[in-house]
Structure 1
Amino acid sequence: MGLTEEIVAMRGGSGQPGRLLGEFRRAALLVPLSGDDDGGLMSGWQGGVRWIYAFTDEEALARFAQTRGAGVAVREWEFLSILGARLVDAVIPTVDGPTGVVVDVADEDASMLFPPVVGIVPDRCAVDADDELAGAL
């Protein structure tokens, strides 16, 4: 199964978190660039967390562009293709503050959050890392 199928399974109640995370880490995701001077990745804020927008394919990215009022084709949006593992292991540690990934955010029934918690992002970036350490003591 691929990432989109694992998301559907998880949302339907039959998914397995380990398989979902594995598919996320192996998936080549499309991440739009912010378009501002810093050249960063497009993201939004919700609940005190920065969420990097990532998409499973160009069609999902196009649906997102339409919700943002962009009347331009997806191919006119600059985006980066990056493995989910690289996104959480290498990119998130460079971002200030709690940061997670939201996949296919414009698809109400097919989106998935990968929050900044232990097991998804590096422990030093996880908002619950202190809780995990306290439980281990």
Structure 2
Amino acid sequence: MELTAEIAALRSGTGDPQRLVGEFRRAVLLVPLAGGSTDADSGLISAVSSGIRWFYAFTDEEALARFAEARGEASREWPYLAILGARLVDAVVPEAGGPAGVAVNVADADGSMMFPPVAGIVPDAYAVDVEAESPEVA
């Protein structure tokens, strides 16, 4: 099953959270670049809410276009990075400088899903629900 189908199943109450995370990690997601440039150094579009940085990611160009339309910016070009969900949470989230998660298809009221910075989604060292290990005192 693809990611959008897993999101729909979970939202309807018939999905499996572990299967959803698995599909998220395997999915190629489109993450828009900030600044409207094709320069990868411009960063990824994100927002901060309640101290958590949320990277926007989309399952296809149509979902990204709905996001652009909702922002009133459909007329401009939206360059994006195509990246596996696993790479996004395993490599990008640790570079965020604080708690970070992924917001998928945020312009789709019935098809969006948040992947928060918790164990099982992001690496444990960056999960807000995992207590940092204290160094042992000799």
TM-score, normalised with respect to structure 1 = 0.90
SS at 2:118 equivalent: coil
In structure 2, the gaps of 5 or more residues are 134-138
CA offsets 1:62-97 (integer angstroms, 9 cap, x no match): 000001111325xx2110000000000011111111
Say what the alpha-carbon RMSD is for the aligned residues.
1.6
State the Cα deviation string for residues 24-69 of structure 1 (Å, max 9, x = none).
0000000001117951100011121110000000000000000111
Q: Which moves more between the two structures, 91-100 or 33-42? A: 33-42
Q: Deviations over 1:94-121 (max 9, x none)?
A: 1111100000000000000000001100
Match for residue 17 of structure 2?
A: 17
- Between the aligned residues of both structures, percent identity stands at 65
Structure 1 match to 2:111: 110
- Structure 1 runs (4+) greater than 2 angstroms displaced: none
| 1:1-137 map, 5 Å | 1-35=1-35, 39-72=42-75, 76-130=77-131
Task: Indicate the residue corresponding to 2:136 in structure 1.
Answer: none
Distance 1:53 1:11 in 2: 19
**Number of matched pairs:** 130
Deviation at 1:23, TM superposition (A): 0.3
Normalising to structure 2: TM-score of the pair?
0.89
**What runs of 5+ residues in structure 1 fail to find an aligned partner?**
none
